[in-house]
Amino acid sequence: MISTLIDTIIDVFPILMKGMKITIVVLVLSSIFAYLFAFIAGLCRMSQNVLLRKFTGFYVEVFRGTSLIVQLFWLYYAIPMLFGFDLGSDMLAGVLAIALNYGAYMSEIVRGSILSVAEGQTEAATALNMSRFQRMRLVILPQAIRMMLPEFGNYLILMLKSTSLVALIGMTDILYYGNILRGGNISQGPTIYLLVLVFYFILALPLIALTKKLEKMSKKGVAVQ
């Protein structure tokens, strides 16, 4: 019993490792774009241009109001039908879905953090005759980003979990190989899926540690309203 367990683990481990690469690539790419979208959308929602504000507001509400899995399928299956062209690859659809979804959520964090930097900070910067752009760059953003960091860390863990969805559109990530392995040996299903979970947990551990560290860091150096 124990020996078959160990055998299974030895068999399964290298195959799951193959999926690790795709999981990490999807995580890295989608998180970079998610943070980018979050900043762009967060700042646009505070713009003085009404049209820009409305448009980003629409994006944020649509992506927060529907499910990631629905968005993923939509990008993967529906976009080619709508525009008559493919997004080119499942990688693009997967990364874009995760990035757009989490970008929408995190844009609210960007906006909220900027708004919660104490008003006195803007006033002091004005009194030093800084321009609107300088106030943002030198005074508000450095403090707001400190506030965002722990939340960004939390969302990184959520994004890691969400990368598992790309297996549903045929990408060869950890879960994909897990499914294939289970298909080949149904009685070893529990060990295989447990191992898949452990793989994700091992990837999550440094992110959890990072988030805790960011939480500590963010407590310093901010004037909150």
Nearer to another protein, 40 or 204 (CB): 204
* Subset of residues 73 to 112 that bind another protein, contact rule: CB under 8 A: 73-74, 77-78, 81-84
Q: Which two tokens stand for residue 43?
A: 């700042």
Using the rule CB under 8 A, give the single segment among 35-43, 46-54, 91-99, 173-181 that binds another protein. 173-181
Helix or strand run (H / E) with residue 166: none
* Subset of residues 129 to 158 that bind another protein, contact rule: CB under 8 A: 129-132, 134, 138-139, 142-143, 146, 157
The three-class DSSP label of residue 212 is: helix
CB of 40 to another protein, least distance (A): 22
Q: Give yes or no for residue 4 binding another protein (CB under 8 A).
A: no
What are the helix (H) ranges across the chain? 2-44, 50-65, 68-73, 79-83, 90-116, 119-127, 132-134, 141-163, 174-184, 189-218
Q: What whole-number distance in Å separates Cα of residue 94 and Cα of residue 30?
A: 8
C-beta neighbour count of 223 within 10 angstroms: 13
The correct pick among 169, 179, 180, 215 for binding another protein (CB under 8 A) is 179
x-marked contacts with another protein along 41-80 as a string, rule CB under 8 A: --------------------xx-xxxxxxxx-xx--xx--
Using the rule CB under 8 A, give the single segment among 27-35, 38-46, 91-99, 120-128 that binds another protein. 120-128
CB of 93 to another protein, least distance (A): 12
Cα 213 from chain centroid (whole Å): 18
